[in-house]
């Protein structure tokens, strides 16, 4: 089964052709990052406009690179939630137009379920059940993937997402947006024990995360140094901060693995590209006899191949939508598209 996937939830316009949920025939990503950089973050209105301008060309390019025609497709899968509403609407309306004019089935895909599916593309042998750490710019969840379309959140962040925590600390250190990527690189040359940072914990919820305290600690270090006229060693602060965030992510994730008895673990979302997170989880899984699945670096960030992959499994589970499909800014990943009501604030 050939699925054309479309993704436009944030600042990447992407399209891809994937066979049977596992084989990428093409994957095209048009990033808008350079246009948002000068503002220090994604500007929603600009994002929507750029998606509208790029989407036709990106879809055409994905079809051309796959060596297939639109008539060869069996379905269209599109990210319908969560994300910037104006950005999502561009992809959803384009996919609806395609489905209407070709008669192809339309499959709504949850963006975070798509991130989980980046592991199916990287590891052909991976099948649920497994435990997945979903860490992106907007979300940090520990998820029990019971089946391809049956997911349960057992840990979540109470404030900032992991990617957001990296981006905000980077910004405070003067590293340009999106700082998480750059902070990770700079940290490689720093001393992770140079600065003492707190160990965040959420009382009564051992699997939940909280990163705002760590961010405040970094701001305090920067402000104190400024007041005293001292210089902050940025690589050391990057390394210390990265160590603290990764330790928190890994601690709770391994705790969850122990609690649930999970032997297969996976990571997904933009932060799954983090070098230290990958190294730490590889070490911890080796030590505890667990199998670890990491997405290929090319599939960690937003892309449409992961949407087409998850779309295949949503289709097999009967998850198609009609022309009344809407986009939603907030939908938890354990809610099916057919059950989303009203504004999707469930």
Q: Which is nearer to Zn ion, 164 or 302 (CB)?
A: 302
SS (H, E, C) the chain: CEEEEEECCCCEEEEEEEECCCEEEEEEEEECHHHHHCCCCCCHHHHHHHHHHHHHHHHHHHHHHHCCCHHHCCEEEEEEECCCHHHHHHHHHHHHHHHHHHCCCEEEEEHHHHHHHHHHHHCCCCCCCEEEEEECCCCEEEEEEEECCEEEEEEEECCCCHHHHHHHHHHHCCCCCCHHHHHHHHHCCCCCCCCCCCCCCCCCCCCCECCHHHHHHHHHHHHHHHHHCCCCCHHHHHHHHHHHHHHHHHHHHHHHHHHHCCCEEEEECHHHHCHHHHHHHHHHHHHHCCEEECCCHHHCCCCCHHHHHHHHHHHHCCCCECCCCCCCCCCCCCCCHHHCCCCCCC
Would you say 104 or 337 has its CB closer to ligand KG4? 337
Contact status: 314 vs ligand KG4 (CB under 6 A): no
91 binds, among ligand KG4, Zn ion, none (CB under 5 to 8 A by kind): none
Site for ligand KG4 contains 302 (CB under 6 A): yes
Q: If binding is defined by CB under 6 A, does position 160 make contact with ligand KG4?
A: no
- Say whether residue 319 binds ligand KG4 (CB under 6 A): no
- Interface pick for ligand KG4 out of 86, 301, 311, 332 (rule CB under 6 A): 301
Q: Which is nearer to Zn ion, 9 or 240 (CB)?
A: 9
> Applying CB under 6 A, what is the total number of residues that bind ligand KG4?
19
Does position 333 interact with ligand KG4 (CB under 6 A)? The reply is no
**163 lies in the site for ligand KG4, by CB under 6 A:** yes
Q: Which stretch binds ligand KG4 (CB under 6 A): 34-42, 43-51, 96-104, 264-272?
A: 264-272
Q: Which of 246, 273, 306, 331 binds ligand KG4 (CB under 6 A)?
A: 273
- Under rule CB under 6 A, residue 178 binds ligand KG4: yes
Q: Give residues in contact with ligand KG4 (CB under 6 A).
A: 10, 136-138, 163-164, 166-167, 178, 180-181, 184, 269-271, 273-274, 301-302
């Amino acid at each position: 089964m050939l699925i054309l996937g479309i993704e436009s939830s944030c600042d990447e316009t992407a399209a891809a052709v994937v066979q049977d949920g596992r084989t990428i025939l093409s994957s095209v990503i048009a990033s808008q990052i350079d246009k948002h950089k000068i503002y220090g973050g994604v500007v929603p209105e600009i994002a929507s406009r750029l998606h509208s301008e790029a989407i036709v060309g990106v879809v055409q390019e994905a079809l051309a690179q796959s060596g297939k025609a639109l008539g060869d497709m069996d379905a269209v899968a599109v990210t319908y939630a969560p994300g910037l509403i104006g950005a999502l609407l561009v992809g959803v309306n384009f996919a609806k137009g395609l489905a209407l004019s070709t008669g192809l089935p339309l499959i709504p895909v949850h963006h975070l379920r798509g991130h989980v599916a980046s592991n199916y593309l990287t590891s052909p042998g991976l099948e649920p059940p497994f435990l997945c750490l979903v860490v992106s710019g907007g979300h940090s969840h520990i998820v029990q993937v019971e089946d391809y379309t049956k997911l349960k959140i057992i840990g979540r962040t109470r404030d900032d997402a992991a990617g957001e925590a990296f981006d905000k600390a980077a910004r405070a250190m003067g590293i340009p947006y999106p700082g998480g990527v750059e902070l990770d690189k700079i940290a490689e040359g720093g001393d992770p024990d140079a600065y003492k940072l707190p160990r965040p914990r959420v009382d009564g919820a051992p699997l939940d995360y909280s990163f705002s305290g760590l961010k405040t600690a970094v701001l305090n270090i920067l402000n104190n140094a400024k007041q005293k006229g001292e210089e902050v060693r940025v690589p050391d602060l990057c390394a210390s901060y990265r160590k603290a965030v990764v330790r928190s992510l890994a601690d709770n994730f391994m705790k969850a693995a122990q609690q649930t008895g999970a032997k297969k673990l996976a990571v997904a979302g933009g932060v799954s590209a983090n070098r230290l997170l990958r190294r730490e989880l590889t070490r911890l899984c080796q030590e505890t006899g667990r199998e670890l699945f990491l997405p290929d670096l090319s599939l960690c960030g937003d892309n449409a191949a992961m949407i087409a992959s998850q779309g295949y499994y949503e289709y097999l589970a009967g998850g198609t939508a009609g022309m009344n499909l809407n986009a939603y800014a907030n939908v938890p990943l354990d809610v099916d598209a057919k059950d989303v009501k009203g504004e999707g604030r469930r």
